[in-house]
A and B are shown apart, each in its own frame.
Chain A
Amino acid sequence: MIILRFLSSLFFWLYLQVGFVVVALLSYPARILRDKGRSFCYLTVRLVLRFLFLFSFFRVTVKGGDNLPAGGRTVFIANKPDLISTFALIAFFPRHLSFIAEARLFRLPIIGRVFKAIGCIPSVAAGEHSFAFPVKVLNAFRRAGNILFYTANLRRQDSQFTSFPAAELQIAKTLESTIIPIMVKGTDKIMPPGSAIFAPGRIEIIVGNPIAATDVGPAAKKLEEFYGI
């Protein structure tokens, strides 16, 4: 069993390297098409990752897909900013998501190119001011109609958590958009932190009910209820 796990993980990483190089190469001609090129790259990444999930030991299910609105602006808030949850969201979430990723990832040679190609936005550190960030957020809204935040504070919900981070809610309120919380379950068992060898398991993507962002206080309470904080 351990040999099988080792071989499947090896296949995962080898396939991922080839996939990233292919998408990075495709991104150069796709830049000519601008927004259409971005969605083409996103669909390519989605296809690559779906094949990867097809040949791996983990299965993904999406629950509550009916909660997604047909149109309009949406701010998605998700827990667990790890590799497998991000891949599961790209591959199986029924919307083109605009992720906000750490700025240092964009400086990596091939991975950074792929991040830019699929329309990710580099995050801004706390206390830092950026003119590019709001422009990029607005562009993402214009392009895909949504944006996805990972709530870093939810990672340490066991100890130091006090209240829901207000910055995301403030952005949602300013943009007059609805908030939809997403919970990704089961990725801890599949890839525990500090391990490159995977275990078989199930991933659940749970889409919560839409929350109006007119008042920050009640919205934060509803989100805390959803995440069980």
Chain B
Amino acid sequence: MGFNYFIVFVIVLVVFWIILTAFFMLRYTYNSRRLKASSAGMSSDIADLQKQLDQLTNNISGKH
């Protein structure tokens, strides 16, 4: 009877290990995708800011 409990324990441990690996695998992939998306957004924001700054500079230089 005790042996059966041991087998159940091992199976639960292996399933837990597989789930943990899958979780970390997905988390790594998902997190880096989110980071990429956010950095892509940031770069476009910076590009917009750069454009605005250029326009501003042009305006100022136009005034002089």
Which of A's residues lie within 8 Å of B, judged by CB? 6, 9-10, 13-14, 17, 193-197
A9 CB contact (under 8 Å) in B17, B25, B36? B25
Q: Is B13 an interface residue, CB under 8 A from the partner?
A: no
Residues of B within 8 A of A (CB): 17-18, 21-22, 24-26, 28-29, 32-33, 35-36
Q: How far is the CA of A14 from the CA of B18 in the complex (A)?
A: 7
B29 partner residues in chain A, CB cutoff 8 A? 194-197
> Quick check: A194 and B21 within 8 Å, CB to CB?
no
B10 to A: closest C-beta gap in Å: 14
In whole angstroms, what is the CA distance A194 to B17 when docked?
Answer: 22
Which residues on A sit within 8 Å (CB–CB) of B22? 6, 10
Q: Which residues of A contact B24 (CB under 8 A)?
A: 196
A194 touches B35 (CB 8 A): yes
State how many angstroms separate the Cβ of A200 from the closest Cβ of chain B. 16
Q: For residue A21, give the distance in angstroms from its CB to the closest CB of chain B.
A: 12
Give the shortest distance, in Å, between A104 (CB) and chain B (any CB): 18
How far apart are A168's CB and chain B's nearest CB, in angstroms? 30
A6–B17 CA distance with the chains assembled, in angstroms:
16
- Which residue, of B25, B32, B33, has the highest number of chain A Cβ atoms within 10 A? B25
Contact A194 B25 (CB under 8 A): no
Contact of A197 among B18, B25, B35, B36 (CB under 8 A): B25
- Bound Cα distance from A13 to B18, whole angstroms: 10
Rounded to whole Å, the gap between the CB of B4 and the closest CB of chain A is 25
